[in-house]
Every structure is written in C-alpha cells, then in structure tokens.
Chain A
Amino acid sequence: DAMVIQNPRYQVTQFGKPVTLSCSQTLNHNVMYWYQQKSSQAPKLLFHYYDKDFNNEADTPDNFQSRRPNTSFCFLDIRSPGLGDAAMYLCATSRDRGPAAGETQYFGPGTRLLVL
C-alpha cells in the first residue's frame, strides 16, 4: 500500500544534541510537509517542500531545518533541541500544493520526540 512512513516512532535526545527525524513516501507526491504538535495543541506547520522548493513558515525557529534529497524522502533536523521542542512531529504529503482546491494531505504516524 502506498503510504507515508516516519522513523523512528519515538526518539529520545539530550538537550542541545542534534537530532534528525525521517519521513519517506511511496505516493510520489510533489509536496511534503512537517508539522509540530505539542501536547493539547493544534498541529502547527513548520515548513513544506514543493518539489525542491523549500517554504519556511515565518514563525518557525531557526533551530529547525529540513532537507529533501529526492521525491521520496524528507528530513527534519533540529540543530540544538531544547526542552520546549519535545512534541509529536508529523510528516504529510499532498499530490500538489493545492489545498485551496481541496487537496487531501496524507500523514505519517508521527515521531514523538523527548528531550532530556
């Protein structure tokens, strides 16, 4: 089945130690998104790639970076995780950048990050 895969499902890191979260997709979608969801809050978009074009949200901290080496893979790098970065990180894809026209987003199961 075509899907969005995130690894690992749980990640523990130390305060200040760089960490990378992975996302892959078999849907061959053009757009990949990273969301952050903190406890009891709404998922919040960090950035997205439209093909190779990177689009950062204005309020995404510089501590968060992303790479998309090819269509299938996208990585979220947190350069110096702080305690406040503990959250669920969701990856999603869509066929095109057209949610204005009703494009569905397809989500992975998320990676829960714990910062010690």
Chain B
Amino acid sequence: ILNVEQSPQSLHVQEGDSTNFTCSFPSSNFYALHWYRWETAKSPEALFVMTLNGDEKKKGRISATLNTKEGYSYLYIKGSQPEDSATYLCAFVTASKLTFGTGTRLQVTL
C-alpha cells in the first residue's frame, strides 16, 4: 500500500502569518508530485506539478519545494490571506495514477 502522508491535518493561522505544511511520500520510483488546492464548494485546483529533485515552484505567495531523495515536499504560504483558506492536497504519481494524501485543512482568520 502506497503511503502519502500530510501534516498537519489542520492549521489555523491569522491573516498575515506565513505558514508551511508537509507531504511525505515513498522515495523510490519517483515520477512526479502534484499539489492541489480545494476550496469549500469548489473544484480542486492544480497548484504545482513537481518532477525534479530540488524543484522549487512559485505562484504568487505560494511556493513549493521537492526532495525526492528523502521523500518530502513542503508547501509555503507567505502572508496568509482569508482567501487562502482551503484544503491543500498532495498526490504522488505512480503507474499513471495519482495517490492522494488526506490533505491539510488551512483556516486563515482576520
């Protein structure tokens, strides 16, 4: 059974705080890692597709890093805003399919 783990399960921060969370995955047979953001009542939306060890990707205030040798990826949000409130899912790619983690639920309050 493939294990993709995300921590923490949930996170509550105040507007303006920077935050980060972790996705752990098997370090062998790596193809790619996806990050998705899922706001309540909306569709999960792709943030990043990461393929190379040492990859660092950025989209506005959100960035992600990848370490395939040790099997983890970090997602960072700088200066959190209420609109960042969502569940952040990572997904490990294997055999042409995605295996998801359970997500980190982020709540940003004023």
Tell whether A and B belong to one assembly. Answer: yes
- A residues touching B (Cβ–Cβ < 8 Å)? 3-4, 40-45, 48, 90, 92, 97-110
Check A99–B93 contact: CB distance below 8 A. yes
Check A99–B31 contact: CB distance below 8 A. yes
A46–B103 CA distance with the chains assembled, in angstroms: 19
Check B43–A4 contact: CB distance below 8 A. yes
Check B46–A105 contact: CB distance below 8 A. yes
Q: Which residue in chain A gives the minimum CB-CB distance to B33?
A: A102
Q: Which residue in chain B gives the minimum CB-CB distance to A6?
A: B43
A23–B103 CA distance with the chains assembled, in angstroms: 24
Quick one: CB contact mask for B78-110 with A, threshold 8 Å, 1 for yes? 000000000001000111111111110000000
How many CB-defined contacts (below 8 Å) exist between A and B? 59
Q: Is B71 an interface residue when CB atoms closer than 8 A count as contact?
A: no
Q: Which one of B49, B89, B99 lies within 8 Å of A104 (CB-CB)?
A: B49
A110–B94 CA distance with the chains assembled, in angstroms: 23
Interface centre among B32, B41, B89, B95 (most CB of A within 10 A): B32
A101–B32 CA distance with the chains assembled, in angstroms: 7
Check B4–A42 contact: CB distance below 8 A. yes
Q: Which one of A41, A45, A110 lies within 8 Å of B98 (CB-CB)?
A: A45
Distance (Å) between the CB of A97 and the closest chain B CB? 5
Hey, which chain A residues are within 8 Å of B32, CB to CB? 99-102
Check B41–A42 contact: CB distance below 8 A. no
Hey, which chain B residues are within 8 Å of A98, CB to CB? 96
Check B97–A104 contact: CB distance below 8 A. no
Distance (Å) between the CB of A35 and the closest chain B CB? 8
Q: Is B42 an interface residue when CB atoms closer than 8 A count as contact?
A: yes
CB-defined A-B contacts under 8 Å, sample of 14: A3-B43, A4-B43, A42-B4, A44-B100, A45-B98, A48-B97, A90-B44, A97-B96, A100-B93, A100-B95, A104-B34, A105-B98, A107-B45, A109-B43
Check A43–B96 contact: CB distance below 8 A. no
Hey, which chain A residues are within 8 Å of B51, CB to CB? 102
